Amino acid sequence: MDDPVATASFDDLIPEPTSLSTAEGAFSLTRTTPVVVADDAAGDAAALLGRYVDELLGEAPPLDGDGGGPAVRFTSADGEDDLGSEGYELDVTPERIEVRSNGRAGFLWAAQTLRQALVSAVPEPLDTASPIEVPSVTIRDVPRFEWRGFMLDVARHFFPVEVVESAIDLAASLKLNRFHLHLTDDQGWRLESAAYPELTEVGAQTAVGGGVGGYYTREEYREIVDYAFRRGVIVVPEIDMPGHTQAALASLPWLNCDGTSPPVRTDILVGLSSLCTDDERVYEFADDVIGELADLTTGPYIHIGGDEANQTDPDDYRRFVSRAAAIVRDHGKVPIGWEAIVDAEPGEDAVTQVWIGAEDDVDAIAAAGHGVVMSEASHSYLDMKYEETTPAGQAWAGFIDTERAYSWDPAAQVPAIPASSVIGVEACLWTEFVETPEQVELLILPRLAALAEVAWTAQAERSWDDFRRRVATFGPRWGAAGLTYTRDPGVPWP
Ligand code: TNX
């Protein structure tokens, strides 16, 4: 066999796996090494791995039978309890690479582990039949949290499908499994509706600052959902109501109590819009748009927003949000909303997303026993600048450098909320002050990697000193992939 062109490395994985032990020897992986699917649930993982090998070595490996020779084999873990639904084992020996998992998620995360190990050796694509040496290793890896999210606000500034897909791919490469799309706000309604074409004909035409807007057709949205699903990522779409609705009010005057349309907002003021919550037509509207969204969305969640509804009378707010949650349920989905929805008693199954941790809200969330997705702003809001000179974003929750994004425990962050209620963590990128794909990248890299490790790796196993060493090695890879990242001085970039 030809001399190897490179040696893969498992030394710098992010997130840090649960356990990893190395051994002598290596597997020689080439672009003709078969990728064998011995468990049907591994089909998507094998296809992705094939694509990564193709990208790195210039040809896609065969995806069928192994004839007993050297191969990458995906095989069932036979329901081994400790691996749960997302854990996996990866065993590399000189004879073969074997992946075991209980289902498709674990297989997909194992494929991402292999991809990272390969990309660390081959940041720039090669066109070669020569092998990459993959060092012998045994990895056993199980996530800490079930909800590992990334949110992108496409309402304040719109980002086209390619940008969204590239963000999803990046999130999946870090084993994040929820992609929350903030689809509507005062400044834009970004998803085409069959029942109400005005929502995008009027509501999608502009953005913060008055620039051109944009929206996803139903077909494009479906494509995003599918792209994410194939990578193990569930899309969580948000229709923010009853506040943050000026783009809807601008499109459909009867949603507004005075029956006239305000202009779509192009500034960033909040708390100035509300649906007319005592008009029955508003509930028909909510049922229609949630129903359409539920039909287009394969994942189990629909986010109803519910934040900063300062123009909605508190009783009206409670009535509206509890009915909106019921509408989501009627369409077969689980409702999720920002922390304030707890006031509406949205039902036990409703998931709450904590961002400020307002005392009354968190006490009520704890008392009602809601599952909590922790998005505490001063650690996980990626629209906060790293420091004064960061060329995009804002700073109302303080500066968040990479060390700060890394150094917290989501299960202990809000004392009133018991650790057992915290189902996960989500990093949020609001886009009032984010306009270009490069600005998206520099705000999420490297902090999304930090938050992905917060979400995956057990608290006791995490160390900033070790993380900063590992994340430094991603700089050249991101650079080679044409991604913009922030050279945070806390990280020893090569
Ligand atoms: C607060 S988080 C908001 C958003 C803003 C964000 C800016 C939340 C539920 N509401 O509307 O975009 O701060 O950081």
Q: What is the β-pairing status of strands 88-92 and 132-141?
A: antiparallel
Looking at the CA of residue 397, tell me the nearest atom of ligand 1: 14
Q: Residue 304 in contact with residue 239, Cβ under 8 Å? A: yes
Q: Tell me the best of 307, 396, 426, 434 to mutate to test the pocket of ligand 1, counting ligand atoms within 8 Å of each CB and taking the most.
A: 307
| Ligand 1 center to 366 CA (angstroms) | 22
Mean pLDDT of the chain, nearest integer: 97
Candidate of 208, 273, 308 to mutate for ligand 1, largest count of ligand atoms within 8 Å of Cβ? 308
Confidence of residue 66 (pLDDT cuts 50, 70, 90): low
Measuring from atom 9 of ligand 1, which residue has the nearest CA?
307
Question: Per the structure block, which two tokens stand in for 143?
Answer: 């996530």
- pTM for this one? 0.98
Q: Which residues have C-beta atoms less than 6 Å from ligand 1?
A: 270, 307-308, 338, 355, 381, 383, 430, 432
Q: Is the pLDDT of residue 1 over 90?
A: no
Provide, rounded to the nearest whole percent, the portion of the chain with pLDDT above 90: 96
Q: Of all atoms in ligand 1, which is nearest to the CA of residue 431?
A: 12
Q: What is the pLDDT of residue 2?
A: 81
Residue nearest to atom 10 of ligand 1 (CA): 307
Average of pLDDT values for 20-48?
97
DSSP per-residue codes, 18-62:
SEEEEEEEEEEE-TTS-EEESSGGGHHHHHHHHHHHHHHHSSPPP
pLDDT of the residue at 68: 80
- For residue 302, with 0-12 CB atoms within 10 Å meaning exposed, 13-18 middle and 19 or more buried, which class applies? buried
- Per-residue model confidence as pLDDT tens digits over 383-426: 999 999 999 999 999 999 999 999 999 999 999 999 999 999 99
Q: Could you give the residue numbers annotated as active site? A: 308
At 439 the three-state DSSP class reads helix
Token pair belonging to 352: 């709450």
Question: pLDDT, tens digit, for every residue of 108-138?
Answer: 999 999 999 999 998 889 999 999 999 999 9
Residue 17 has pLDDT above 90, yes or no: yes
List the one residue out of 244, 178, 145, 173 whose CA is nearest residue 428: 178
Q: Among 459, 442, 429, which Cα is nearest to 149's?
A: 429
Interstrand relation of 88-92 and 97-101 (parallel, antiparallel or unpaired): antiparallel
Q: Between the CA atoms of 97, 100, 105 and 107, what dihedral angle is there, to the nearest 10 degrees?
A: 20
CA of 381 to the centre of ligand 1 (A): 9
The pLDDT score that the predictor gives to residue 123 is 81
Contact criterion met (CB below 8 Å) for 324 and 290: yes
- 349-371 confidence digits (pLDDT tens): 999 999 999 999 999 999 999 99
* Helix/strand/coil for 113: helix
Task: Provide the β-strand partners of residue 236.
Answer: 180
The helix or strand, by DSSP H or E, that contains position 440, with its residue range, turns out to be helix 437-444
CB atoms within 10 A of CB 175: 27
Angle, to 10 degrees, between the axis of helix 314-330 and the axis of helix 280-296? 40
pLDDT at 137: 98
Mean pLDDT of 160-184: 98
